[in-house]
Amino acid sequence: MKFTCTKENFLQGIQAVSSITGKQVHLPILNNILLLAEPTGLKAIGTNLELSIVATIRGKVEIAGTFTVPAKMLVEYISLLPNEAHIDCELDGVELILKSGRQRTKMKGAPATDFPAVPPVEKNNELVFPADRLKRALQRVLMSVSHSEVRPELQGVLLFSENTDQLRATLASTDSYRLSEVHVELLNQSSVAVRVIIPQKAAQEIHRLLPNSNEPTALVLGEGQISCVIGDVHLVSRLIDGTYPDYRQIIPKTWNTELKAPVEETLKAIKAASLFATQGVSAVSLELKPASEILNITSASTQAGEHSADISVEGVGVDNKVILNHRFLVDGLLSVDDERVILKVVNSESPCLLQPEKTDDYLYIIMPIRQ
């Protein structure tokens, strides 16, 4: 195996795949990146068995071949080379020789024989999104994915498009303490209804790789698998096998209090209150006074002191009070793409809702902290 490429191209490719490699004790080969030099070009591949990423790297291949090298070491070493560097790589036994300028390095690796193959995906259906819309939608739901292994189906993002006549899909997630739902524009009509659960790591990688542009990006769905091509990177992941709960059952049908509050001012008030919240509880108190057109935000702890802020709002309904986790509240406010947020409350023990004032593309549910 022998190839030449620039530092920029090489680093971009190996960084794209190295994020899913890790400390694999039982299968050490998964800590490595597979370098695949073919007459048609160079590829870098990383996998953790559940998720595989293939990056095409622009360069010149002189001798075809395959070899694996430790991902962390390769990324760290290449990142230290001068920005304009050209790299010559050649395989010598169980060592990859890298030459760049006056530097010559021998990096020990392993043959590619034990490296898992990237599974092919037979396309049953595909959903095409504007890349930037999908990227923002994933950002708004990833924060609510559960980390508990008790319910594996909650460890991913639900993606569904049940009305094939509608040019939109829905993403949702919940960890039982909060719930996020986002509607996102589709550029194609789905041939059949879609309902799949994308693992959190795969959703995170898709979000990381997506550009901030409106270029079409297709999520290809196969039997138990999902794949997508983003630029020079091809991602393939298993889907989570299971049934996602009917989360809409927990959303109240009626509300006793509804306020419209400025997002930026409310966000700053919540962050200020969080400085005085009791550690470990993370609780801030919201007192909703629609008749007085005031949202009062307070917090107190024996260690830090206490804080109170009034925000001018518009509202309807009865006076109400709810105690919420300030971190969850900040996450929800940061996901509202509008100048004002609508806050709906039933009582101190029922789920409360945040959504943008002018659009219906997002809702966020938070379970209150009971006194």
pLDDT in tens, 190-214: 878 899 999 999 999 999 999 999 9
Amino acid at 257: T
303 pLDDT tier (thresholds 50, 70, 90): confident
Task: State the average pLDDT over residues 56-64.
Answer: 97
Segment 52-64 mean pLDDT: 97
CA distances from 198 to 9, 137, 315 (A): 29, 14, 38
Angle at 326 between CA 322 and CA 327, to 5 degrees: 140
Whole-number mean pLDDT of the chain?
Answer: 95
| Residues of the chain above pLDDT 90, percent | 89
Averaged pLDDT, 134-162? 95
Whether residue 103 contacts residue 118, with contact meaning beta carbons closer than 8 Å, is answered with: no
Structural domains of the chain, ranges and CATH numbers in brackets: 2-114 (3.10.150.10), 125-248 (3.10.150.10), 251-366 (3.10.150.10)
**Residue 59 has which token pair?**
């360069």
Stretch 96-122: mean pLDDT: 94
The least confident of 25-29, 49-53, 133-137 is 25-29
Q: Choose between 282 and 191: higher pLDDT.
A: 282
Q: pTM above 0.85?
A: yes
Task: Return the pLDDT at 25.
Answer: 65
Backbone angles phi, psi at 333, to 5 degrees: -65, -40
Residue of 166, 168, 170 whose CA lies nearest to 196: 170
Q: pLDDT value at position 280? A: 76
Residue 229 — pLDDT band, cuts 50, 70, 90? very high
Amino acid in the structure at residue 353 = L
Percent of the chain with pLDDT over 70: 99
Which amino acid makes up residue 75?
V
pLDDT value at residue 165: 73
User: What's the average model confidence in pLDDT over 119-126?
Assistant: 90
Identify the residue with better confidence: 280 or 284. Answer: 284
- 340-349 pLDDT, tens digit each: 999 999 999 9
The candidate with the shortest Cα–Cα distance to 56, out of 235, 226, 216, is 235
Under 8 Å between Cβ of 32 and 79: no
Name the band, by pLDDT with cuts 50, 70 and 90, for residue 26.
confident
With bands split at pLDDT 50, 70 and 90, how would you rate the model's confidence at 243? very high
- Token pair 């709906």 is found at 344
Asked whether residue 163 carries a pLDDT value surpassing 80, the answer given is no
pLDDT at 41: 93
Q: Which whole number is the average pLDDT over 104-115?
A: 95
